[in-house]
């Protein structure tokens, strides 16, 4: 249940793990970046990556340490120093559960 004044439906957990994100840019070029997760909830996650990803882009997320592999959409992307903070909303049935086993 959200806290008072909190708009999120799911509680976030601070998790810093390696993450890989793949997508096609607007020219159709395949892109892949490596970054790290900042926090995660059942419905999405925030990641720090070295380049901008446009809002509403569908990406494939792989975070083996958190047992996560699937699709998400970019809800926001903002610069922070030399990196970008990307807010992802899971889609296509992807959901994170606390205590999920790492992918091998």
Read off the pLDDT of residues 32-89 as tens digits, 9 standing for 90 and up. Answer: 999 999 999 999 999 999 999 999 999 999 999 999 999 999 999 999 999 999 999 9
Q: What is the pLDDT of residue 1?
A: 43
CATH 1.10.3210.10 fits 13-90, yes or no: no
β-pairing, 18-24 vs 30-40, is antiparallel
| H helix or E strand, kind and range, residue 74 | strand 68-80
Report whether pLDDT(4) > 70.
no
Q: Would you state the structure tokens that stand for residue 55, as one six-digit string?
A: 């809002």
Q: Would you state the structure tokens that stand for residue 83, as one six-digit string?
A: 């990196």
Report whether pLDDT(5) > 80.
no
Q: What is the pTM of this model?
A: 0.86
Domain ranges of the chain: 13-90
> Would you call 4 exposed, middle or buried from its count of C-beta atoms within 10 A (0-12, 13-18, 19+)?
exposed
The DSSP output letter for 55 is T
């Amino acid at each position: 249940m959200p806290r008072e004044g909190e708009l999120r439906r799911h509680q976030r957990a601070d998790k810093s793990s390696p993450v890989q994100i793949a997508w096609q840019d607007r020219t159709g070029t395949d892109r892949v970046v490596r970054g790290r997760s900042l926090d995660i909830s059942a419905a999405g996650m925030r990641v720090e990556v070295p380049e901008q990803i446009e809002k509403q882009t569908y990406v494939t997320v792989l975070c083996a340490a958190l047992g996560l592999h699937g699709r998400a959409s970019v809800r926001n992307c903002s610069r922070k120093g030399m990196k970008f903070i990307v807010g992802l909303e899971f889609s296509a049935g992807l959901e994170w559960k606390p205590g999920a086993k790492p992918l091998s």
